A and B are shown apart, each in its own frame.
Chain A
Amino acid sequence: MTTQRRDSLALSVLLSAPAVFLLTLSVVPVLLLLQLSVAHHAEGGLWSPGFELSQYAQLLNPEFLKVAAFSFGLAIVTALITVTIAFPAAYFITRMRRRTQVAWLVGLLSTLSLSEVLVVFAFQVLLSGGGGLVKALVTLGVMAQPQSLYPNVAAVLVCLVYLVLPYIILFLYPALSRLDDDLPAAAATMGASPPRIFVSVTAPLVRGSLFSAFLLVIIFTVGSYLTPLVLGRPQHWTIGILINNAAMGTGNLPLAAAQAVALVLIMAVLFGLARGLGRARDASE
Chain B
Amino acid sequence: MIKLATALRRLFLGLVALFIAAPLLVVIGVSFNESRRMSFPPTVISLKWYRAFFTDPDWTDSLKLSLSISALAALVSVTVALPIAYAVWRYRSRAATAMASVGSSLFLLPGVVTALMFSAFWGVVGHVGRAENVVLSHGAVLLGIPIALLSVGFQAIDRNLIEAARTMGAGETDAFRMVIRPAMTPYILCALIYVFVLSLNEYLIAYMVAGFSVQTLPIRVFGSMRSGYEPTLCVGAVIFIVLGLASFWLLAAIGDLPRLMGRHKPLEA
By a beta-carbon cutoff of 8 Å, the part of chain A in contact with chain B is 7, 10-11, 14-15, 17-19, 21-22, 25-30, 32-33, 36, 85, 88-89, 92, 94, 97-99, 101-102, 105-119, 121-126, 128, 130-132, 162, 165-166, 170, 173-174, 177-178, 193-194, 219-220, 222-226, 230, 239-240, 243-244, 247-248, 253, 256-257, 260, 263-264, 267
Contact = CB atoms under 8 A, between A and B. Distances in A.
Interface residues of B, number: 91
Contacts of B203: 115-117, 226
Interface in B9-54: 9, 12-13, 16-17, 19-24, 26-27, 30, 37-41
Contact of A114 (B86, B208, B237): B237
SS of B interface (majority): helix
Given A25-B139, A260-B113, A111 B96 contact: no
A19 B84 CA distance: 9
Given A10-B91, A28-B121, A110-B244, A15 B83 contact: yes
Interface string B179-208: 000000000000000000110111110001
B241 A113 contact: yes
B168 interface: no
Interface stretch (B57-65, B159-167, B260-268): B260-268
SS of A interface (majority): helix
Interface of B: 1, 5, 9, 12-13, 16-17, 19-24, 26-27, 30, 37-41, 80-81, 83-84, 86-87, 91, 93, 95-96, 99, 102-103, 105-106, 108-114, 116-121, 123-124, 136-137, 139-140, 143, 197-198, 200-204, 208, 217-218, 221-222, 225, 229, 233, 237, 240-241, 243-245, 247-249, 252, 257-258, 261-265, 267-269
A177 B258 contact: yes
B117 A244 contact: no
A147 B208 CA distance: 35
